[in-house]
A and B are shown apart, each in its own frame.
Chain A
Amino acid sequence: MAKATTTVMVVEDEALLLQAATKKLEHEGIKVLSCPSGEAALKYVDNLDTAPDAIWLDYYLKDMNGLAFMQAIKTNPKWAEIPVIVVSNSASPDKVHNMLALGVNKYILKAQYRLDEIITILREIIDDARADKDE
């Protein structure tokens, strides 16, 4: 059963970038949960009734790094299955490897992707996840 609107949680501590991502996603008809810090995101994790369809996660957050965040949601059954894409400006093989091992679906370099490209990737991943669930 398809949901009415897609919801994406964006976790990004750079204000301008969070704003741009939020604006573009909303422009495309996607509901956005904006999180300017890891803390804010985790609050959602603890308190939301329905989890978002996907998470757009920056790696270096001021209060924690992506690894810590991933570990937090993996322990939450409601959130553990949500597709995550990491949109970061640095990517070392170790980091990428660790994140992928923790269940991140894709790790992309921010500066090399347009917003519309990222949204396409998000939609693909969400569709895949929905297809998996429906099976």
Chain B
Amino acid sequence: MAKSSAPHKSLITLFVIITAIAVLLGFFLYKILYSQDVQAHKNVYELVAWSMVFVLLLIAISGTISVLTVTKQIRKLKDEASRFANGDLSHKIEMSGTDEVGQLAFAFNQMSDRLRASYQRIALEKQWDEILLENMGEGMIALDKKGQIGLINGNAVTMLNLKGKEVVGQLVYKAFALHDANGKKPLSAHDRPEMRVLHNAKPQSNVFEFWIEGQKPLMLHINASPVVIDGKTAGAIVILRDVTHEREVDRMKTEFISLASHQLRTPLSAIKWYTEMLLAGDAGKLKKEQQEFAQNIYDSSERMIELVSSLLNISRIESGRIIIDPRPTDLKQLVDGIVNDLKAKTEEKQQSLIISVHKELPKINLDARLIGQVFLNLLTNAIKYTPQGGEISVFVSRKDDQIVAQVSDNGYGIPKQEQGKVFQKFFRAENAVKVETDGTGLGLYLIKSIVESSGGKIWFESAEGKGTTFWFSIPMSGMKAKTGEVTLDELK
């Protein structure tokens, strides 16, 4: 019998005692009944007495049997449970009966089923993780807080030309070298993105060169994210993506667009100049209708020229290669300059143009070319989409840490159902097209890109037939410089 049989042992002891009492009782009763004194009612006393003894014995015997049965079942249950505890979860306890022991067995079986399902789930998820790690397109390295490699996937090993997963345990900056765009020397540990992220817990994302002997260097995009546990940096996850091909394709695309726009501009220039000469009468005075036709050709070719410039600009912005060259800029001067350039147009339409730039605005670090473009587009739109005699105003002021510029007009407005689309490429509202056939639909898309890459926002309010107001904000801290390769072509 096992150690834990104490409870039922005491029960059996109890029944043994009851049996003893029965026997003693029997003995005394015998003595009393068969003495001289109670001869008269001897039969009745006999019956009662011996019945009591019999009942007691019955209790003792049945009690003992019950206890022994239950004990046996419990022992069986205990043996089965031990099997579970030792890890064999596939076994099912067979116990019939709906009593407590049977229910207990059932509960054990349920627990074991759940545990088994849990283990299977965990094993599956672990497999998913491993397969995920090995099959994801990128390389992955997991670092501990010192920068030692804890985990590295197959892709990273291949990308970095390493010998298998031997590097596990090595410091990441010793395992392989990275160079930045201008460096002949490899990056020092301090400058490595993986070490930076461990040091300041700020995700690092940048492109580095990885040199391989006898080959062109790879361009690797490295994304390092901190792993923070209980507020402390416990390690980092580094994702490596080979963007060499991407960059090459991008470069080719830009070259193609450059070439295409150059090629397109050549015949467009020819059309422009010859039509100009026709209209000027250089080939002889034109009749009225000839003048009209020639003017139409001129206008259409102007539209095409503008379109090509806009497309080029957009392609440059989208490829992220625009140079941002911020310099301290006097906003009043900038706005005055643009307004001056547009004077002819406002005078032609007899529109009034009010400028109000806050007196104490400091010079802001802006790329005048880019922000000038924003003002130019907004003002050109205001002029275009406001009828004769309309009013246009420009306000530039400061709100907390932002410069907010506002361009308002009391022109045709933008219909409500089309307001959601105005920033889309090539979109022109119906009422705009009716009023002014000239327009690429790219202006707002372009300036939204400029404003947003300057860290600002652009928004508007408009009511059809009443007018439109556009606002855009630029942080007081100005635009961040960005080395790039191209600038926007100035759109006249």
CB-nearest residue of chain B to A96: B487
B261 to chain A, nearest CB (A): 7
Question: Given the complex of chains A and B, what is the CA–CA distance between A21 and B305 in angstroms?
Answer: 18
Question: Given the complex of chains A and B, what is the CA–CA distance between A94 and B276 in angstroms?
Answer: 31
User: Does A27 belong to the interface (CB within 8 Å)?
Assistant: yes
User: Does B269 belong to the interface (CB within 8 Å)?
Assistant: yes
CB-nearest residue of chain A to B308: A111
B427 to chain A, nearest CB (A): 24
The number of chain B residues with a CB under 8 A from chain A is 26
A-B contact pairs, 28 of them (CB 8 A): A16-B267, A16-B274, A17-B266, A17-B269, A20-B270, A21-B273, A23-B277, A24-B273, A27-B277, A89-B262, A90-B258, A90-B261, A91-B489, A92-B485, A92-B486, A93-B323, A93-B486, A93-B487, A94-B485, A110-B265, A111-B272, A111-B308, A112-B489, A114-B272, A114-B273, A115-B273, A116-B276, A116-B280
Q: Are B305 and A89 in contact (CB under 8 A)?
A: no
User: What are the residues of chain A within 8 A of B305 when measuring CB–CB?
Assistant: 111-112
Question: Given the complex of chains A and B, what is the CA–CA distance between A38 and B265 in angstroms?
Answer: 21
A residues sitting closer than 8 Å to B (CB atoms) are 14, 16-17, 20-21, 23-24, 27, 60, 89-94, 109-112, 114-116
Given A20-B273, A91-B489, 6 further pairs, Cβ under 8 A: A16-B270, A93-B323, A111-B308, A111-B309, A115-B273, A115-B276
A106 to chain B, nearest CB (A): 13
Q: Are B273 and A112 in contact (CB under 8 A)?
A: no
User: What are the residues of chain B within 8 A of A116 when measuring CB–CB?
Assistant: 276, 280
User: What are the residues of chain B within 8 A of A89 when measuring CB–CB?
Assistant: 261-262, 265-266, 269
In the complex, the number of residue pairs spanning A and B with C-beta atoms less than 8 Å apart equals 65
Q: Are A17 and B258 in contact (CB under 8 A)?
A: no
A62 to chain B, nearest CB (A): 13
Residues from 165 to 189 in B contacting A, C-beta threshold 8 Å: none
Question: Given the complex of chains A and B, what is the CA–CA distance between A94 and B261 in angstroms?
Answer: 18
Which of A17, A60, A112 has the most CB atoms of chain B within a 10 A radius of its CB?
A112
Q: Are A112 and B492 in contact (CB under 8 A)?
A: yes
Q: A60-B262, A90-B262 are in contact. Are A111 and B268 (CB under 8 A)?
A: yes
A95 to chain B, nearest CB (A): 10
User: Does B282 belong to the interface (CB within 8 Å)?
Assistant: yes
Q: A93-B486, A110-B265, A111-B269 are in contact. Are A20 and B277 (CB under 8 A)?
A: yes
CB 8 Å contact bits of B124-152 with A (1 = contact, 0 = none)? 00000000000000000000000000000
Q: Are A27 and B282 in contact (CB under 8 A)?
A: yes
User: What are the residues of chain B within 8 A of A17 when measuring CB–CB?
Assistant: 266, 269-270, 273
User: What are the residues of chain B within 8 A of A114 when measuring CB–CB?
Assistant: 272-273, 276
Which of B277, B309, B323, B490 has the most CB atoms of chain A within a 10 A radius of its CB?
B277
User: What are the residues of chain B within 8 A of A94 when measuring CB–CB?
Assistant: 485
User: What are the residues of chain A within 8 A of B265 when measuring CB–CB?
Assistant: 89-90, 109-111
User: What are the residues of chain A within 8 A of B266 when measuring CB–CB?
Assistant: 14, 17, 89, 110
Question: Given the complex of chains A and B, what is the CA–CA distance between A90 and B265 in angstroms?
Answer: 9
By Cβ-Cβ distance, the 4 closest A-B pairs, closest first, are A89-B265, A20-B273, A16-B270, A111-B265
Q: A60-B262, A110-B265, A111-B269 are in contact. Are A24 and B489 (CB under 8 A)?
A: no
User: What are the residues of chain A within 8 A of B489 when measuring CB–CB?
Assistant: 91, 109, 112
Residues from 282 to 329 in B contacting A, C-beta threshold 8 Å: 282, 305, 308-309, 323
Question: Given the complex of chains A and B, what is the CA–CA distance between A20 and B268 in angstroms?
Answer: 13
CB-nearest residue of chain A to B273: A20
B269 to chain A, nearest CB (A): 5
Question: Given the complex of chains A and B, what is the CA–CA distance between A17 and B492 in angstroms?
Answer: 21
Question: Given the complex of chains A and B, what is the CA–CA distance between A112 and B308 in angstroms?
Answer: 11
Question: Given the complex of chains A and B, what is the CA–CA distance between A111 and B307 in angstroms?
Answer: 11
